[in-house]
Amino acid sequence: MQLFPTAGFSALTLTLVLGACGGSPLPLREAPAPDPTVAIVRATLWDGTGRGPVSNAVTLIRGDRILCAGSAGECPVPRRARIIDANGQWLIPGLIDSHVHLLFLTAGSATEELSLDLRDLLAQGVTSVRDMGTNPAELLARVRILEATPRVYAMQLVAGRRFFFNGFQGTRTARGVVFRQPPAMTMQSLGWTPIMYNSTDDPDSIVAMAREAGAMGLKLYAQLDRESVTKLVAAAHRAGMPVWGHAWVQPASALEQALAGQDGVVHAAGFAGELFTAEERDTLVSDGILQVATAEVATVGAAHDPRITDALDSMARLGTFFEPTLDATKHSVAYFNAKRRHIPSEQEEYVRAAFGFGMEVTREAVRRGVRISAGSDHVAYGPSNERASLFGELRLLVDSISLTPSAALLAATRDAARAIGGEAAQRLGTIEPGHYADLVLLSKNPLTDIDNLDSVEWIMKSGRIWRPGQLRSGIASR
């Protein structure tokens, strides 16, 4: 009979037995504690800094931060680190969508779509997003209670008085007079909280309201003139907050916004505003009138008009960022193409003109050295196949705008982080020491084909690993 069973037999038990038998007790030795470092080894590293890929790379993670990233010689692996072997795979920074709209209320409350949408974004490798104006306080409160989400940076919408009060004026159309409620009322019914700015208001108070709501910057939306834009930009910058706006905030044009020091503009179609005088822009108040006016002037050839190229040159010189949001317009065109019963409308004419014009404006912007941030104008509701996506935006930048896959990836990593500003600019977008450990492991090379971004093996956010299937099914991370 075996005196001591081998299974579960411990050094402590042996010490007690020997002591009872009169033998000398054996000294106890504690096993050395494992090193808290995680080492991702043998991947090809594309770190987003602008340097070329590093084969057989080592990336060291401790907690939620990157310790080292580079060749095996640059980053020695600690003896007791946890090893993740990524041989034959590609490691890139977490992707950033710098233009989304996440919060939509239905019957006064948000549906489950927000949680599902955020998990799906993370499953795609999107580890950070910037919400370009819904309800910062409500959105951020909802995000905080969810376990699996990208980082969310929120902007506060600001618009002029006419956005809130248009007197319910009628617009004459082919079908008669159409009365439209002020756009702000539509936004508020969705749960959004735009702030009204009058030219006599204190801009610093607007900035304080935005900060109190949890916003990290201002999004100028509509009905703001050049003087108002200049005051709001100055106040926000005094508070260390960035300012972005529509490429045409009726009446301030993209050029006027750039000259006012604004950090970036969105929507390529908005450059149609450069083709009108300041006085003409001031008369284009309602969305219907604006769409008709844009459809009339926004041709592919008009994208090369000196008034537009001068605006782009000024943006390049000043470092003003540009988010074309091409995929959202493409989805709008697809919606009209799919309609079985085709009834021509002003909106369709606008959408078709805006897409061709916006594509050509974006090509001009790239040729002239304007900094591009890959914002998709994604929304967190409706059928998923009808939503604009970061992948769709990047495919258009490569296939239609002729960016290289590497340049497109920079627009969704390093440059998107810089476009957001603040903490994002300091801690996101590249795989460097001190940055957040937001990473994506791909099974295929994204530099040869941008579609290979769809080969996600796992996503790391703040040092925690998630797999796409786990996120989409709701199963907790490993």
Q: Is the overall model pTM greater than 0.85, yes or no?
A: yes
Q: Are 267 and 327 in contact (CB under 8 A)?
A: no
| Fold for the domain defined by 95-427 | TIM Barrel (3.20.20)
- The residues that bridge with 197 in the sheet, in sequence order, are 160
What tokens does 323 get? Answer: 């988010």
In this structure, are residues 77 and 41 in contact, taking their beta carbons and an 8 Å threshold? yes
* Residue 56 host element (H or E): strand 54-62
End-to-end CA distance of the chain: 43
pLDDT of 426: 97
Write down the pLDDT at residue 5. 41
How far is the C-alpha of 387 from the C-alpha of 395, rounded, in Å? Answer: 15
HEC per residue, 363-427: HHHHHCCCEECCCCCEECCCCHHHCCCHHHHHHHHHHCCCCCHHHHHHHCCHHHHHHHCHHHHHH
Task: Give the per-residue pLDDT at 386.
Answer: 85
- Report how far residue 137's alpha carbon sits from residue 144's, in angstroms, rounded to the nearest whole number: 11
Cα-trace Rg, the chain: 27
Cβ atoms of 137 and 103 closer than 8 Å: no
Return all residues near 117 (Cβ < 8 A) that are at least 6 apart: 102, 380, 381
d(CA 83, CA 59): 10
Question: Tokens 């082919």 correspond to what residue?
Answer: 174
- The burial class, CB within 10 Å (0-12 / 13-18 / 19+), for 269 is buried
Measured CA to CA, the distance from residue 85 to residue 149 in angstroms comes to 25
**What per-residue confidence (pLDDT) applies to 22?**
52
Dihedral of the alpha carbons of 421, 422, 427, 428, in degrees to the nearest 10: -30
8 Å CB contact between 30 and 7: no
Predicted pLDDT at 291 = 84
- The burial class, CB within 10 Å (0-12 / 13-18 / 19+), for 137 is middle
What residue type is 17 in one-letter code? V
The pLDDT of residue 380: 87
Who contacts 436 (Cβ-Cβ below 8 Å, separation ≥6)?
64, 65, 66, 427, 428, 461, 462
What architecture is the 37-92+434-473 domain classified under in CATH?
Roll (2.30)
Residue spans of the domains in the chain: they are 37-92+434-473, 95-427
One digit per residue, pLDDT tens: the chain, 478 residues? 444 344 444 444 444 444 445 555 666 666 666 779 999 999 999 999 999 999 999 999 999 999 999 999 999 999 999 999 999 999 999 999 999 999 887 654 455 688 999 999 999 999 999 999 899 999 999 999 998 999 999 999 999 998 898 655 555 555 555 556 778 888 887 889 999 999 999 999 999 999 999 999 999 999 999 999 999 999 999 999 999 999 988 899 999 999 999 999 999 999 999 999 988 888 886 666 888 889 999 999 999 999 999 999 999 999 999 999 999 999 999 999 988 777 878 889 999 999 999 999 999 999 999 999 999 999 988 788 889 999 999 999 999 999 999 999 999 999 999 999 999 999 999 999 999 999 999 999 999 999 999 999 999 999 999 999 999 987 654 4
Contact 305, 360 (CB under 8 A): no
